[in-house]
Amino acid sequence: MQLDQPGAMDSSPLQLRNLPDPTPGPHEIRVRVRACAVCHTDLHITEGDLPLPKLPIVPGHQVVGVVDLIGSKATRFQPGERVGIPWLYSTDGTCSYCLQGNENLCENGRFTGYHTNGGYAELCVVAEDFAHPIPSAFSDEHAAPLLCAGIIGYRSYRLTNLPANARLGLYGFGASAHLVLQLAQHQGHEVYVFTRGEAHRALAKKLGAVWTGSAEESPPHALDGSIIFAPAGSLVPLALKALRKAGTLALAGITMSPIPQMDYSLLYQERVLRSVANSTRRDCQEFLHLAAEIPITTEIQMYDLDQANQALLDLKHSRFDGAAVLRVS
């Protein structure tokens, strides 16, 4: 499914196209895609909310498939092995951010389905060092949401710097939040979920949330850390108000509506407000290991590849719980 020009989702901007089969370079592998999860970033790309470095583009960056061809110098994987391709497609490895262990901020970072064609397709090419083995505990369709919803949720969760036996707030309860809830609960934390949808609240309670309510409601206890997944800047002062002293509020989205003017007292007493940008290969490796160990359950809604426009439209209007996944082959 290719995006020739961005447009509103109700205009079905993605089109089926017959493209030449990609050929892997010397250190690359080619993956025959089995499943690709659908992400809010795909929605922002398709509707033109993000500046697009390449058009036309095939979106999709939560890719699970099987290696079917390897480059002449590729040695890490063999044909038939199952791998995942996440958002981080490549880095230069030489800039100050890469050298300091912050490759997610690489000056020349490239991203799957944004700078290069992604997983809304039958075939996808990636450098072998940026592909990841998929744990056998997960089927293709249940593994796919782990590769962005899971990884960015994990990085956001890690950057909240929770103490032991903490109280964690989650604002918005989509694909990322329902995975983070399970991770936090597994590690002994209490989870408080803020969401308008009754179905989302029911799922949160089913997965172990100790409290659910709207963002305007006050939780029964001050929170040690929180993550905002919804791209709504209006949530920031509400979430800061619910934090204890020295608590951290992480903003997980790649875009967000304007944050309203707010009183300094909400941030005072060493509360921390931080954004979360992309993820590293280490984040991916650590999270996939933890996800299999728990094991994490992914709530999914399946669509065929040619239903990608509908999947994104349903995502835009929160018409399903968990994550949408495209069945490719």
| pLDDT score for 65 | 98
Intervals of CATH 3.40.50.720 along the chain: 151-275
Intervals of CATH 3.90.180.10 along the chain: 2-148+278-327
Look up tokens 């901020």; give the residue.
Answer: 105
Q: Tell me the CA end-to-end span of the chain in Å, nearest whole number.
A: 14
Token pair for residue 6?
A: 């961005």
Question: What is the second-level CATH architecture of the domain 2-148+278-327?
Answer: Alpha-Beta Complex (3.90)
Q: How far apart are CA 145 and CA 61, in angstroms?
A: 10
Handedness of CA 54, 60, 63, 65 (dihedral sign): negative
| pLDDT score for 249 | 98
Three-point CA angle 163, 169, 170, nearest 5°: 130
| pLDDT score for 9 | 96
| pLDDT score for 321 | 83
**Segment-wise mean pLDDT, segments of 10 residues, the chain, 329 residues:** 97 97 98 97 95 96 98 97 98 97 97 98 98 97 96 96 97 93 96 93 93 97 97 97 98 94 97 97 96 94 97 93 92
| pLDDT score for 125 | 98
| pLDDT score for 12 | 97
Token pair for residue 264?
A: 């300094």
| pLDDT score for 265 | 97
| pLDDT score for 199 | 87
Can you count the helices (H) and strands (E) in the chain? 9, 17
| pLDDT score for 197 | 87
CATH 3.40.50.720 assigned to domain 151-275? The reply is yes
